[in-house]
Amino acid sequence: MSVKLCEGIRMDERPEPPPEGRLITAALQRSGMSMRQASRRANISYGRWRQIVTGYQNVSAGSFASVHHAPAATVARMAAVVGLAADELEKAGRADVAAVMREAPVAEDQPADWFAGLTPREKEITDRFIQGLIASREKEDNGREREDNGRRHSV
């Protein structure tokens, strides 16, 4: 039986995570956020986040394809969410990501322009509403993670 190759890598072997993927994963663990929470904050899908940090995507059961050099802007958003500095990405070999981070730093808790025009009471109501949405999402994320962990352990 011959093994097909995908960009020089056996498709039945998982490629190694890229340096930026290992860096982001370590920072994510330190942050205490789940991967789902972080991917939402970075405005990318959970699946795409996972592909970027692991360096591969599942092609079919037991077959993997390498994911090379994710877009700098995407990796910059991921890095900002988990609290990495531009210098750390540069040392990991992603000077392009570091440049994006330096050009347009991401201020995570910066209010939108329209928020500034609200009255103090409207701001309070809006803040409560947003906190309720966040709590609801976190509850959903925790339920999904328990489901994901159950699937991983039952295989």
Residue 116's φ and ψ, nearest 5 degrees, are -65, -25
**Its pTM surpasses 0.85:** no
Q: Which of 14, 8, 6, 24 is nearest to 94 (CA)?
A: 24
Rounded Cα–Cα distance for residues 119 and 121 (Å): 5
For residue 63, give both structure tokens.
């077959």
pLDDT tens across 35-69, in order?
999 998 888 899 999 999 998 887 777 777 777 78
Instruction: Work out the widest C-alpha separation in the chain, in whole angstroms.
Output: 70
3-state secondary structure of 112: coil
